Amino acid sequence: MSKFPSEKEIRKMSKILSKGIASRPLRKDASPADKVKHRICEKFVIYKNSNPITQKEMAKKLGIDEALMSKILHYHFDEFTIDRLLKLLYILFSKVNIKIDVA
């Protein structure tokens, strides 16, 4: 049985979690373009989590500033076009396959 965290542990985690911007979930009524952007951002997150690279190093590799990298990694993609996100994705992956399904 696990014990409830102490007040000190709760304050410590609260401080950690309050730093930076939070990841934005995809809205249920998201537009098709926002769904595509979300899927592209997801690939950046997967890349970062699968490789020993910091957000700063990733930004440098992509030629963007760290603030923009943070927005991508937290799904704050409003100021990005699909085209721009794809161009950045091509820098990380030599091969990108794009599939469009019609339902």
Residues 61, 92 contacting (CB under 8 angstroms): yes
User: What is the C-alpha separation between 46 and 3, in angstroms, rounded?
Assistant: 32
Taking only the tens place, the pLDDT of each residue in 70-96 is 999 999 999 999 999 999 999 999 888
pLDDT at 58: 97
pLDDT at 6: 86
pLDDT at 102: 80
Residues 24, 75 contacting (CB under 8 angstroms): yes
| pLDDT over 70 at 45, yes or no | yes
Taking only the tens place, the pLDDT of each residue in 48-64 is 999 999 999 999 999 99
Residues 6+ apart with CB under 8 A from 24: 74, 75, 76
Confidence of residue 36 (pLDDT cuts 50, 70, 90): very high
Type of residue at 86: L
Burial label for 86, CB within 10 Å (0-12, 13-18, 19+), is: middle
30-57: average pLDDT: 95
pLDDT at 1: 59
Taking only the tens place, the pLDDT of each residue in 9-29 is 888 777 665 565 567 888 999
